[in-house]
Amino acid sequence: MESLGEKLRKARENLGLSYEDVYRDTNISIRYLEALEKEEFSQFPGEPYLLGFLRNYGEYLGLNAQELLSQYRSMKLQEQPVPIEQLLKNPEPSHHWPMIGVGLLVLALVAGGVLGWFFLIKGPSGTTENAPPRKATEYTLTGGILKKRLYPGDSLLVTIAKDTYKVELLTIDEQVHLSTASGEVVVNLGQEIGIDLNNDGTKDLQIYVEDLVKNKPERGTALRFEYRALTQEETQNLGTNPASPGNTAAAQPAETVVSGSEMGGTGGTPGASAIGPNILSSPNPYPFTLQVTFKGSCLFRWEADRKERNEQYFQKADILNIQAQNGIRLWISNATAAKLQVIGGGKTVDVEIGNPGEVVVTDIKWIKDDEGRYRLVPVRLD
């Protein structure tokens, strides 16, 4: 019988899909896709995650999800050890041992099992050896953008001119704690900061937190690093406090920030849209994350920062995270089939965009008001 992982791998290859293609369409991490195909189920944080990813991956590949789940459960049953009472059962009832003999045998087996377990998990020095600790990874960046999932102890080496500077991930609680040449830096989910590594008055490295699970450092954090020196004017706009929302973005392209007097949205018709209440407010725009939690089945389409358009049919309990620098355009077949939350600047804000059963097209973007401040708002397009 074809194994579960082999079935998934063949289906993906028959469709001509790479892991990157599947990740882009399903938002399932490449690490988990590989684990499913290699049947390395210990890679998952829990069985509910494993079953959910297996179901979604199978449906995406056009396989029968229920058959895949049944095959997985059968595998788990086969891996369970035979109960000890079955091992001790005498196949010939006419020749019973005396009860004391059975008792001694059971006692010997239990004692042997305990001693075997003890010596198995003990090293030569007598200390407990669990799974070997993860070795810290060191990455390098000499220019451009680097996206990686880092774990405590991992570090990034940034080369500026002839000097190299180290940025190390210290820990993850409700925020990300980094050690830099300028001291410790704390960053929130959905926040971007600029760091002056060589103390020359310019922000050399931009760090953006794309994903983290609060208080679970073993899950790591997805970080985006961009190495480029900002101008003096941009540096002044970023301010001196790396934890403040006003200091979280590099210079924004002028065409992507819309004046409060412009009601047409990004590409909309003037006068054919309506600006909703403020979601976030800041002297300068900064990156944010839109988290979409689906409460029912619906078709959902999105486009971040006027880049590639994505479309997918989601089911109840599915979750989608979208990162953007300037704005996101959404199309949804049922406005209340999904819960929307914006995460940025250390805040999480609920967003409502329409009524039950309503087909909605909405921009969530930064606009500039008459006082020169930036507001992140929903802009309804008709």
Where are the domains positioned within the chain?
A: 4-79, 84-121, 138-247, 254-381
Q: State residue 101's pLDDT score.
A: 57
Work out the mean pLDDT of the chain and round it to a whole number: 77
| In contact, 135 and 155? CB cutoff 8 Å | no
What's the rounded Cα separation, in Å, for the pair 147 and 164?
19
Nearest to 311 by CA among 334, 331, 327: 331
Q: State residue 107's pLDDT score.
A: 64
Average pLDDT over residues 18-41: 88
What's the rounded Cα separation, in Å, for the pair 93 and 378?
78
Average pLDDT over residues 126-133: 47
State yes or no: pLDDT of 123 exceeds 60: no
Nearest to 326 by CA among 355, 268, 367: 367
Question: Which DSSP category does 254 fall into?
Answer: G
Q: State residue 46's pLDDT score.
A: 80
Of all residues in the chain, the percent with pLDDT exceeding 70 is 73
**The residue count for the chain:** 382
Q: State residue 247's pLDDT score.
A: 40
State yes or no: pLDDT of 214 exceeds 60: yes
Per mean pLDDT, which range of 4-8, 14-18, 76-80, 327-331 is the poorest? 76-80
Q: State residue 212's pLDDT score.
A: 78
pLDDT category, 132, cuts 50, 70, 90?
low
Q: State residue 200's pLDDT score.
A: 76
Structure pTM? 0.36
Amino acid occupying residue 175: Q
| In contact, 285 and 366? CB cutoff 8 Å | yes
Average pLDDT over residues 328-347: 88
What's the rounded Cα separation, in Å, for the pair 57 and 21?
12
The CATH number given to 4-79 is 1.10.260.40
Q: In terms of pLDDT, which residue wins out, 275 or 273?
A: 275
Q: State residue 236's pLDDT score.
A: 47
Dihedral angle of Cα 226, 229, 233, 238, to the nearest 10 degrees: 40
The pLDDT tens digits for 370-381 are 888 889 999 988
pLDDT category, 258, cuts 50, 70, 90?
very low
Q: State residue 185's pLDDT score.
A: 87
Does residue 97 sit in helix, strand or coil? coil
State yes or no: pLDDT of 172 exceeds 90: yes
Q: In terms of pLDDT, which residue wins out, 112 or 24?
A: 24
